Amino acid sequence: MLVNVYRSPRKELTYIYLPHGSKLECLPDTLRETFGEPELVVSLHLTPDRKLARYSGEYVLSEIEQQGFFLQMPPIEREDTC
């Protein structure tokens, strides 16, 4: 599947993966408001066996099939408490 990856100008390390040709207006209103004006980073051919930085292609494709997009958020930093 050909997908477009957009970066959020408001939320560092936050990206949306959409099938190529999908309209950004189809995203939920609250997500669009929080995400800000999407900046296209890359278009890529995503396959189930493709390795991405933090997720497998299979996982991202599954999320896109279920909800029409995949939202990648920054990792949660945990404070060590002793």
What is the reported pLDDT for 42?
96
pLDDT tens readout for residues 5-24: 999 999 999 999 999 999 99
pLDDT at 52 over 80: yes
Beta bridge partners of 71: 16
**What's the whole-model pTM score?**
0.87
What is the reported pLDDT for 75?
83
Residue 13: which of 72, 77, 81 has the closest Cα?
Answer: 72
pLDDT band at 45 (very low <50, low <70, confident <90, very high): very high
Distance of alpha carbon 35 from alpha carbon 79, whole angstroms: 26
Sorted by sequence, the CB contacts under 8 Å of residue 2 that are 6+ apart come out as 19, 20, 43, 44, 45, 46
pLDDT tens readout for residues 54-73: 899 999 999 999 999 999 99
Architecture of the structural domain at 2-72: Roll (3.10)
Query: 3-state class of 30 per DSSP?
Result: helix
Sorted by sequence, the CB contacts under 8 Å of residue 74 that are 6+ apart come out as 11, 12, 13, 14
